[in-house]
Amino acid sequence: MRVLITGGAGFIGSHLAEFLLSQGHSVHIFDNLSTGRLANVHHLSHRPDVRITVGDITDPAALGPAVREADSVIHLAAAVGVRLIMEKPVETIVTNVAGTEYVLKFASQRDLPVFVASTSEVYGKMMETDESIDALREDGDWRLGPTSKRRWAYACSKALDEFLALAYHDEKHLPVVCGRFFNTVGPRQTGQYGMVIPNFVQRALLNEPILIYGDGEQTRCFNHVADAVRAVALLMADPRVIGQVFNIGNTFEISMNDLAGRIKQMTGSRSEIVHVPYEQVFKHGFEDMRRRTPDLTKITGTTGWTPMRSIDDILRDVIDHVRHDAVSE
């Protein structure tokens, strides 16, 4: 099968390309390289079953032919990362909404199966406002802050992506499925756009201060990229999931303070852990959540998928990758 991966030179996309190739598929990697890197897929570029196109999903002249040549589409391309969202809100909204609409429009012309990547951000601060919620379910409510808080632009744009995808399914019978990624982490992820684990690891290996925003007691659930791409492949192969939304994540929670401490220990770092107020870093309407934990009942019950790698597995892989990159440079 010929699979088009938008955002295919990105962190998740490059791992997904490797996985699909191992399953016997051919892949077309389509990326504008705004956050993706050709270095992520350079080791695949010589293969006859791989095609790489530098193009933008908001450019129909580039995207249309790529979709028309595919048998299925995995749509990962998006403006991502807290720092990018805060610094370039227009790019975030336009890329995420207009780009997804083009992908769905062209896919519907040939009735192609489509996976649309969404995010746990769409849940907003639901766990903050309802303490009775232990985990976030796909059919549960979501709550965002006011439009004056720039952070919510990303969440709203990805929620609109889901609405668009499900509307294309309902109205045009497009075989589409949405996956909400929770803090996917692993080798090749950059800390440049605010991703916490590669950021902490890079600073720890350099013995530089590890900066934690806020009091550090906020928790997150981190999922290894290898587990995430396995979930995407299972969803794309299962006709029962069409027209639905699924969480993709790990249920183990860890605070930012404990995460920094664990990274210091695993790297043997002398880094100081420093807490920085949010307003010193994000000056335009930033809000954070104390918890964000996925309920995996739906995806496990439907496909049998569960995450297999622990937080220590994730950290070891990221530490090894960052060390290797440092030596290579």
* Residues in CB range of 264: below 8 A, 6 or more apart: 204, 210, 271, 273
Distances (CA, A) of 74 to 2, 81, 260: 11, 20, 33
Give yes or no for a contact between 218 and 254, defined as CB atoms under 8 angstroms apart: no
Classified as helix, coil or strand, 116 is strand
Cα–Cα distance, 27 to 229 (Å, whole number): 14
Give yes or no for a contact between 54 and 32, defined as CB atoms under 8 angstroms apart: yes
Closest CA to 268 of 226, 205, 327, 208: 205
Cα–Cα distance, 257 to 114 (Å, whole number): 38
Cα–Cα distance, 38 to 40 (Å, whole number): 5
Please say if 154 is a catalytic residue: yes
Tokens describing residue 27: 């892949």
Cα–Cα distance, 153 to 26 (Å, whole number): 35
* Tokens 């956050």 belong to residue: 35
List, in sequence order, every residue forming a beta bridge with 119; answer none if it has no partner.
181
Q: What is the largest CA-CA distance in the chain?
A: 58
Q: Give the pairing of strands 176-181 and 184-185.
A: unpaired
**Catalytic residue (one of 102, 123, 154, 213):** 154
Cα–Cα distance, 38 to 46 (Å, whole number): 13
Cα Rg, the chain, nearest whole Å: 19
Q: Which residues are catalytic?
A: 154
